[in-house]
Amino acid sequence: MKIKSKIWIENDDGILISEGRIQLLKLIEETGSLNKAAKAMNLSYQKAWKLLDASNKAAKSPLIETQVGGSKGGGTILTPYGKSLIETFESINHACWNFLDEQLQKHSV
């Protein structure tokens, strides 16, 4: 048996990060495009943009940067802060799951 949970980090300005937003950020890093990342998650571009815009407003620094035009067109990249937020969230999430597994074993449900 395993206990599963979903966590997110929020502040007074709203949700900073969640599992879904982490997935979106990882896909942006992989594809270099918010549009491609949104499609991979079966989200509309507008929905994906709203999620990231809300996270950016709740964050101390931007999570992504957009690049407009150029010979290869625009794109989206993660900022160093965005990358560090992924690492932090995944570390916290992993520790949470380990703690819950330990509790389950301790109480022998």
pLDDT tens digits, 3-25: 778 899 999 988 999 999 999 99
* 66: β partners: 76
CATH fold of 14-107: Arc Repressor Mutant, subunit A (1.10.10)
Amino acid identity of residue 87, one-letter, is E
Give pLDDT tens digits for 20-57.
999 999 999 999 999 999 999 999 999 999 999 999 99
Q: Evaluate whether 10 touches 16 at the Cβ level (below 8 Å).
A: yes
Of 17, 90, 63, 81, nearest to 9 by C-alpha is 17
Give pLDDT tens digits for 58-107.
999 999 998 876 556 678 999 999 999 999 999 999 999 999 989 998 98
